[in-house]
């Protein structure tokens, strides 16, 4: 018995040595796989980075003739790593005619041209011609909010892969719940709707100026009493009554669009631009701005409602004419750049603050778009006050 036992012990020694060797080889193999995985991840990151995030020189876009609005919007689209991540996975149209008519494909070609080119600026001619086939006129001054909506709808319509369309919706659409409550009885109507932008006022109902972006947001979600000609028909009362209208925030997207309505209509039916100062922060937490009654979301959803400013598209001029440019923050360098058609230069935060608006300043910010980044695949986590995962975009209006 003892000898048999000793033989068994001696037989285990080479097995242990073999086991240790296999573990060492497995560890080396795992390290190699981790290295390969890290390299693959870096390649994935590079493949979805925006134009200024390849650590090449930022590329401008030539003005084709009143195309400054289109150029500014394209720069912000293509600098958004989540948008370019979707764009790079589109199905390439099979025929030449289809490729010529495809807005997503032409936008992808422009992105590749900007990333691979050696020039300081490239021409968006092919994309502009493609847009003209879809009734987007060339050589006319566009409104940025309207053109943004047009571009988004064309992208959504022409992306053939359902999963990419869904990702595009998740990236940009806002979910709001509207409440209408009769003030004479308990009758109430609730309805959910989606929006591409939140149209924020810069004046209150008494034409008093709202002083900050946060104040404008609070006013947008403040309940409004519908009286006089605005009364609604109550099914329970059987007649028109005073209703209380309110909106509650249900869901915010990765790319949140806030449209500052910097215009008003006078008695002559002509619009007038409102260029007074309205500061916006570099960081914005909706949980600190809105009350519990203005939100209809659970805690996990609210945890992503933190934003950091990513870009500003600014407008100079009157309500009928002017010029657009874009201020964009590089995601990798954390530096601000001004994209003024073909001219691109690095700027400071003080330069960006000029878009707050003031009668004596040249640039006026009129629309704001905010981009939260919840893509954990890119190593970005939701952090307190949105230090890493939330981006913001501010755009102009008329």
Q: What is the pLDDT of residue 267?
A: 62
Q: What is the pLDDT of residues 145-198, one digit of tens each?
A: 899 999 999 999 999 999 999 999 999 999 999 999 999 998 999 999 999 988
List C-alpha distances in Å: 304 to 45, 76, 215, 390: 22, 22, 21, 8
Cα–Cα distance for residue pair 310/194, rounded to 1 Å: 23
Per-residue pLDDT band for 273 (boundaries 50, 70, 90) equals confident
Q: What percent of the chain has pLDDT over 70?
A: 72
Closest CA to 324 of 364, 278, 280: 364
Give the C-alpha separation, 226 to 219, whole Å: 16
**pLDDT score of 3 more than 80:** no
* Statement: residue 41 has pLDDT above 80: no
Of the chain, the percentage scoring pLDDT greater than 90 comes to: 49
Please determine, for residue 205, whether its predicted confidence score (pLDDT) is greater than 90. no
Tens of pLDDT, residues 78-114 = 988 889 999 999 999 999 999 999 999 999 999 999 9
Which active-site residues does the annotation give?
68, 323
Tell me the average pLDDT of the chain: 79
pLDDT at residue 42, rounded to an integer = 43
pLDDT at 20 over 90: no
Residue 333 is predicted with a pLDDT of 78
pLDDT of residue 156: 96
Residue 163 exposed, middle or buried by CB count within 10 Å (0-12, 13-18, 19+) = exposed
Question: How would residue 1 be classed by pLDDT, with cut points 50, 70 and 90?
Answer: very low
pLDDT attached to residue 80: 87
**pLDDT score, position 128:** 97
Domains and CATH numbers, the chain: 45-394 (3.90.70.10)
Distances (CA, A) of 196 to 43, 298, 361: 31, 21, 29
Sequential DSSP letters for 231-264 = -EEETTTTEEE-EEEEEEEEE--SSEEEEEE-EE
9 vs 330: which has the higher pLDDT = 330
């Amino acid at each position: 018995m003892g000898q048999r036992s000793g033989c068994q012990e001696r037989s285990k020694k080479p097995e242990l040595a073999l086991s240790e060797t296999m573990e060492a080889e497995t560890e080396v193999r795992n390290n190699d796989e981790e290295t390969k995985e890290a390299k693959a991840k870096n390649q994935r990151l590079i493949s979805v980075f925006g134009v200024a995030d390849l650590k090449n020189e930022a590329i401008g876009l030539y003005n084709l003739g009143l195309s400054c609005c289109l150029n500014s919007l394209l720069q912000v689209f293509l600098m958004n790593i989540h948008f370019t991540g979707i764009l790079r996975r589109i199905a390439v149209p099979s025929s030449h005619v289809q490729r010529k008519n495809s807005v997503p494909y032409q936008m992808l070609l422009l992105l590749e041209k900007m990333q691979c080119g050696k020039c300081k600026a490239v021409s968006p001619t092919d994309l502009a011609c493609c847009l003209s086939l879809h009734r987007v006129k060339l050589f006319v001054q566009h409104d940025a909010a309207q053109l943004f909506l047009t571009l988004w709808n064309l992208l959504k319509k022409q992306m053939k892969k359902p999963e990419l369309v869904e990702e595009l919706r998740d990236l940009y659409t806002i979910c709001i719940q509207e409440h209408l409550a009769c003030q004479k009885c308990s009758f109430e109507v609730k309805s959910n709707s989606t929006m591409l932008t939140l149209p924020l006022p810069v004046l209150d109902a008494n034409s008093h100026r709202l002083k900050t972006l946060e104040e404008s947001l609070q006013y947008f979600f403040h309940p409004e009493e519908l009286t006089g000609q605005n009364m609604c028909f109550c099914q329970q009362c059987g007649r028109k009554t005073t209703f209380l209208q309110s909106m509650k925030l249900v869901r915010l997207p990765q790319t949140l669009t806030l449209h500052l309505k910097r215009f008003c209509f006078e008695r002559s039916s002509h619009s007038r631009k409102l260029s007074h100062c309205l500061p916006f922060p570099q960081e914005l937490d909706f949980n600190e701005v809105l009350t519990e009654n203005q939100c209809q979301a659970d805690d996990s959803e609210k945890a992503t409602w933190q934003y950091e400013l990513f870009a500003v598209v600014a407008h100079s001029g009157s309500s009928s004419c002017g010029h657009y440019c874009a201020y964009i923050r590089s995601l990798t360098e954390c530096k601000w750049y001004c994209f003024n058609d073909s001219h691109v230069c690095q700027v400071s935060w003080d330069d960006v603050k000029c878009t707050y608006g003031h009668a004596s300043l040249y640039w006026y910010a009129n629309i704001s778009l905010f981009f939260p980044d919840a893509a954990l695949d890119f190593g970005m986590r939701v952090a307190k006050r949105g230090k890493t995962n939330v981006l913001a975009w501010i755009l102009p209006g008329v």
